[in-house]
Amino acid sequence: MEQWAPLAIYRQYGNLQRAGRPSPHVFKWPMEITQIETFLAVASFGGFHRAAEALRLSQPAVSSRIKALEESLGVPLFVRSRNTLTLSSAGRVLRPYAEQLLKTASVARQAVHQLDPSTDAPLQIAAGLSISVYFLPEVLQKFQKAFPKVSISIRPGHSKEVLEMVLGEEAEIGLARSLQHPEVETIPLRDDPLLLVATPDRLPNKSGRGHLGEAAAWPLIFYERGSSDWTLTRGLFRHAGLVPNVALEVDTIETAKRMVERGLGMSFLPLMAVAPEIRRGELRTIQLIDAEPLHRSLDIIHPRHRPLRAQAQSFLQVVRDIVKQRAPGKNKK
């Protein structure tokens, strides 16, 4: 079984003991990576049941790992009550070191993996539907120019499906929005907010500003029922006690954008999908002055346990380069 004894955590033992209750237990090794992963999963999901589901383990197995880790450290890591589970003082001290440990282990695996020049298998990429349409073509064009011998397979899906494909080893890398999971490394790339857009002649007033209550009465175009975009947009109105006037509900972002361009209504669309039209003045944004912006991040995810091949690391670098080129203030014409 894989074991890990990070010096940083060892040095923090005194802090952990001071943060927790005095314990007769001796600080004993080994501390296993699986215990650390389970600790972070329970801390992230706030309970043993949800952590067990995420890690695809039984709940007793999760409880056993946490108990073994607490015994190894000699302090309780969680405060248990009837209905809640929170990190103890010692757990809060341990958490950042645990996160760093997993990152270090992932880097170590990748370094060792680079010694194996094998595998010409296609690079499997899972990507969100809108990312596949509005972002990946530019990335693939640049990547294939630099690495013409690398074949790539793209598997589109909603964000949750992208996560499932990466966890299930159906994809080596995932590109999606705002994804966090204890078994994947998440690399935020940029903000990709949802913007309320309309054609210039559809603006409610010359200022392009309005209130959420007013927006609820405007003809709105929703898309991709059940997706994160659909959920965020519905939630914006629901949390304010409002029922939006959904004039049209369509299947894709692109269809929604085309309907907006034809003056059939307004829609909350990703910046990635409408940036060119906004720059050309074909679409205008409407600022809702009493509503929170719908922020989401564009993320890359890859498994902590599986080292990335050289091809995948090169792909990640191309993605980062494209994101920098698209940053505000770049390539203005």
Q: What is residue 25's predicted lDDT score, i.e. its pLDDT? A: 44
In a domain, 330, yes or no: no
More confident residue, 218 or 13: 218
Same domain, yes or no: 12 and 99 = yes
Per-residue pLDDT, 13? 45
Q: Decide which of 52 and 316 is more confident.
A: 316
Q: Is residue 261 located within the same domain as residue 134? A: no
**pLDDT tens digits for 2-33?**
333 343 444 444 455 444 444 444 455 567 88
Please count the structural domains in the chain: 3
| Token duo for residue 257 | 């954008």
Question: pLDDT per residue over 222-236, tens digit each?
Answer: 998 888 889 999 999
Of the chain, the percentage scoring pLDDT greater than 70 comes to 84
Instruction: State whether 132 and 174 are in the same domain.
Output: yes
Q: Which two tokens stand for residue 216?
A: 């609820």
Cα angle 191-195-200, degrees, rounded to a multiple of 5: 140
DSSP string over 148-202: TT--EEEEEE-HHHHHHHHHTTS-SEEEEES---TTEEEEEEEE--EEEEE-GGG
**Is residue 2 in some structural domain?**
no
Range of the domain at 127: 123-191+296-325
pLDDT value for 111 = 64
State whether 229 and 258 are in the same domain: yes
Q: Are residues 320 and 225 in the same domain?
A: no
Report if residue 265 sits inside a domain.
yes
User: Is 104:91 a contact under the CB 8 Å cutoff?
Assistant: no
Residue 284 falls inside a structural domain: yes
Q: Answer yes or no: do 166 and 141 share one domain.
A: yes
Residues 86 and 37 in one domain: yes
| Cis, peptide link before residue 30, omega less than 30° from 0 | yes
Decide which of 53, 79, 113 is a domain's last residue: 113
Query: Is 79 found in the same domain as 15?
Result: yes
Q: Identify which of 73-82, 128-137, 163-172, 190-199 has the greatest average pLDDT.
A: 190-199
Report the pLDDT value the prediction gives residue 108, as an integer from 0 to 100. 73
Residues 181 and 311 in one domain: yes
Closest CA to 296 of 237, 239, 220, 228: 228
Looking at the chain, how many residues does it have? Answer: 333
Do both 283 and 312 map to the same domain? no
Distances in Å between the alpha carbon of 322 and those of 18, 131, 190, 208? 47, 13, 11, 31
CB-based contacts of 295, cutoff 8 Å, min separation 6 = 191, 193
Predicted local distance difference test score (pLDDT) of residue 12: 47
Q: What is the mean pLDDT of the chain?
A: 83
* 79 pLDDT more than 50: yes
Does the residue 155 lie in any domain?
Answer: yes
Q: What SS3 state is found at 115? A: coil
**Are residue 61 and residue 149 in the same domain, yes or no?**
no
pLDDT number for residue 28: 55
Domain annotation covers residue 331 = no
Alpha carbon distance 76, 174 (integer Å):
35
pLDDT at 291: 92
Checking if the pLDDT of 56 tops 80, the result is: no
Instruction: Please tell me the distance from the alpha carbon of residue 142 to that of residue 136, in angstroms, as a whole number.
Output: 10
Q: Where are the alpha helices (DSSP H) in 239-287?
A: 253-261, 271-279
Co-location of 177 and 136 in the same domain = yes
Please report, for the domain that includes residue 172, its CATH number: 3.40.190.10
Give the tens place of pLDDT for each residue, 260-307.
999 999 999 999 999 999 999 999 999 999 998 998 888 999 988 778
Rounded distance, CA 169 to CA 172, Å?
7
